[in-house]
Copies of this chain bind each other. A is one copy, B any other.
Amino acid sequence: MTHTSSPVSSAELDEIYAFAIDLGKRAGKLLLDTVEKRIDGGSAGDSALLASEEKDSSVDIVTQTDEDVEAFIRTEIQSKYPSHKFLGEETYAKGSSRDYIIDSHPTWCVDPLDGTVNYTHLFPMFCVSIAFIHNHVPQIGIIHAPLQNQLFTSCTGRGAWLNQTHRLPLLQKPSIPPLPANAPSGCIFACEWGKDRRDTADGNMYRKVESFLNMAAEVGGREGRGGMVHGVRSLGSATLDLAYTAMGAFDIWWEGGCWEWDVAAGIAILQEAGGLVTTANPPEDPDTAPIEDVRLGSRLYLAIRPAGPSETETGREGQIRTVREVWRRVRNLDYSRPGS
């Protein structure tokens, strides 16, 4: 069943984009305010936060911040666009179902705080993520990492930007670099250890580590699967992994287990910047299988940075070649949707 919602005009989209950018800036500022309270000790009014810290119940700080920032974003959106749907991480987490609920209606998909572990420890790699989705397509993406002083924004047809001044990917002149001829060698590979740490034979943790090893090992090693990537990076934020892939700083991001609010804004930004997103799990024949567009609710993602042409292939051809080279080296991950 394909239902299509009435189109949004170009002028309307411009207005929504401006609203979303402002909202992302203000939400990031809220996150930063809670950090500053924690650093400076704050006044009597912050005693709850400080008491939490003292008791090492840092989980409480995160939950409170998550809820406060999501409530702020939801209120602003519902006030400005009462007909739009809203899907937030906190709201969804409290529901009973894990069904994928985004339909063709104009929908905001929001993670008030991605990188919660980083936030707790004050490692700067945390952010707010706001996406506007219409007819199943993420059209606007806003990612604000306030302690990094980085604001990533995009809107269909308007480009993807860092801090509203630098077009993504960052390296544009004289041209966007092609992917390395021997990719994944020469690439920065971003991946995450995630939360599934069960010591189960052939479970997700071991499948991930086997995949990381194949990507990292010397060429010729690992029974021919060694990818000798230039570097392996783990930041603890799926959202920022996608943002840095859109920026061109990471060449490849491969991950399972994320939810739609973790990736919706990042996918919007990456695609608008010229990147490619498909599924993490390799098909039966990675050499010939079609490269299907990512499904937002699939929980399995493989992203390739924007790429320019080389002397022998288009940028898109280089991306597809890189997808296949990754698929040859990674294992299937088991992150089905509970209840689906």
Contacts and interface: CB of A to CB of B under 8 A. Distances in A.
Interface residues of A, number: 59
A250 B123 contact: yes
A5 interface: no
Interface string A133-147: 000000000000000
Nearest to A196: B218
Contacts of A244: 123
Contacts of A234: 232-234
A222 to B, nearest CB: 6
A53 interface: yes
Nearest to A38: B171
Given A123-B244, A250-B121, A39 B221 contact: no
Interface stretch (A89-97, A173-181, A284-292): A173-181
A149 to B, nearest CB: 6
A199 B171 contact: no
A118 interface: yes
B236 A216 contact: no
Give how many copies assemble into the complex: 2
Given A121-B230, A209-B209, A174 B221 contact: no
A171 B39 contact: yes
A218 B232 contact: no
A218 B124 CA distance: 26
A40 interface: yes
Given A39-B173, A118-B249, A121-B248, 7 more contacts: A117-B231, A121-B231, A122-B171, A123-B244, A188-B236, A193-B232, A231-B236
Interface of A: 38-42, 50, 53-54, 56, 117-118, 120-124, 148-149, 166, 170-175, 177-178, 180, 186, 188, 193, 197-199, 205, 209, 212-213, 216-218, 220-222, 226, 228, 230-236, 244, 247-251
